[in-house]
Structure 1
Amino acid sequence: MKPIRTTAKPVSWLMAILMMVIAAPCPTVFAAMVTAETILDADRVADARAYVDAVLSREEVTSALTAQGIDVREAMLRTRALSDAEILSLADRMEHLPAGGGAFETVLVVGLIVFLVLLFTDIAGATDIFPFVRK
């Protein structure tokens, strides 16, 4: 029995040290419920990340970023580091912002508003601009 103990004692110390070395770097694991919203948002997040990457890789966007002094690769790395909620918000804002230009549409809308105001004042009898309006 004594030879077994003399052999087992160093082996048990070695095993105890080995177990501590193996278990020490393992972080504590916390279990939590995964909501249905998290599962459903996973596809939306992937689509939003792909949309933002596609927008940032367009030539006119890269040239505009470069003109502003922003490195395109760094901008892409920063967008990839965004959280899920942030990337969803960014993609939503990018989809709803006007895409520049719009001068023709603005002139058209202003012209239509002026025409309607003059038409209503002509119908009311305050002006006499349009001959097709009956008094």
Structure 2
Amino acid sequence: MEILRRLTKPVSHLVVLGLLALSLHLPAAQAGMVGTEAVVNAAQAQQYRERLHDALNRNDVRAQLLARGVDPAQVQARVDSLTDEEMQTLATNMDQLPAGGDGVVGALVLIFIILLITDILGLTNIFPFVKHNR
């Protein structure tokens, strides 16, 4: 009988602890419907992220980043930290930008050609390689 009393005390402590653990009020999981718009927005955000990562993984882009002293890994980390709205804005801006830059080179070439023509016609004397008939 003495052995039974020695065993009941630890077992009763375990039972009491088990009942206390079961009686704790933990927040229950809430299930709800996920709208189609939320799923579509999440899929689009993922596509934008993949497109931007693909663009940043190109060799020429990496070379330009390194030439400007920017670590490509740091750029990837910053892209990963963008919100979905920022990612969408960046992706739409990438689609709208011209492929050759912002047009500065084209404007410089146009100005060069205009000055060259005026120099050939004798209206200006800017370029030393143009021979004037004077």
Q: In the TM superposition, what is the alpha-carbon distance from 1:76 to its structure 2 partner?
A: 0.8
Alignment: residue pair count: 101
Write the letter of the residue equivalent to 2:63: S
Larger deviation: 37-46 or 49-58?
37-46
Counterpart of 1:95, as a letter, is D
Q: Which amino acid aligns with 1:11?
A: L
Q: How much has 1:12 moved relative to structure 2? A: 2.5
Letter paired with 1:97: L
Counterpart-to-counterpart distance in 1, 2:15 and 2:43: 50
Distance 2:70 2:27 in 1: 38
Structure 2 residue 41 is matched with structure 1 residue 41: yes
Distance 1:70 1:47 in 2: 25
Separation (CA, whole Å) in 2 of partners of 1:27 and 1:100? 56
Sequence identity percentage: 28
Whether 2:54 is the aligned partner of 1:15: answer no
Q: Provide the secondary structure at the position in 2 that maps to 1:70.
A: coil
| Partner-residue secondary structure (3-state), 2:100 | coil
**1:78 to partner: Cα distance:** 1.6
Superposition deviation, residue 71 in structure 1: 0.5
Q: Which consecutive unaligned segments of at least 5 residues does structure 1 have?
A: 112-135
Map 1:1-135 → 2, pairs under 5 A: 6=9, 8-15=11-18, 19=21, 34-101=34-101, 102=103, 103=106, 107=110
Aligned mates of 1:94, 1:85 — CA distance in 2: 14
How far off is 1:6 after superposition?
4.3
* Structure 1 Cα separation of the partners of residues 19 and 66 of structure 2: 58
Structure 2 spans left out of the alignment, 5+ residues: 115-134
| Amino acid of the structure 2 residue aligned with 1:65 | L
Q: CA RMSD in A?
A: 3.6
Change (3 A) 1:82 1:34: same
Length-normalised TM-score, structure 2: 0.56
Task: Give the secondary-structure state (helix, strand or coil) at the position aligned to 2:70.
Answer: coil
